[in-house]
Amino acid sequence: MAEETVFAKIVSGEIPVTLLAETERVIAFPDAFPQAPVHILVIPKTSAYQNVTELAASDPGLLAEMVEVANRVASEHADGDFRLVFNNGENAGQTVFHVHAHVLAGGLKEQTLGG
């Protein structure tokens, strides 16, 4: 079995976080190393999917639920507009292999993609 990720430990409560949103299948919490004025992670509680391609292929409804939660936290913690980033694979910068969405918000208008 694959080694437990830091996000599995967050879901189980072993690593405490400030929960910003929770549904039956999804949680959201602040990124520990924010890259934007608002930087929130949205993850499914299940550890079944390593990345967004696996998730989309197997459970698109859960992916849609993640987007819904991203929209909600962006409204609650910024002006409602947000950038949604999924790093998919090591060479794209993914470091935690439990699918997660980065919700980036708060004054990103002038910041170009990758800039």
Q: What residues act catalytically?
A: 100
Q: Is the dihedral of CA 70, 75, 78, 83 positive or negative?
A: positive
3-state SS class at 41: strand
> Which residue number, 46 or 94, has a Cβ lying nearer to ligand AMP?
94
- 54 contributes a contact to ligand AMP by CB under 6 A: no
- 5 contributes a contact to ligand AMP by CB under 6 A: no
Q: Can you point out the beta strands (E) in the chain?
A: 21-22, 26-30, 38-44, 83-85, 101-105
> Which residue number, 41 or 62, has a Cβ lying nearer to ligand AMP?
41
Least separation in angstroms between CB 32 and ligand AMP: 4
> Which residue number, 17 or 21, has a Cβ lying nearer to ligand AMP?
17
- 21 contributes a contact to ligand AMP by CB under 6 A: no
What gap in Å lies between CA 108 and CA 96, rounded to an integer?
24
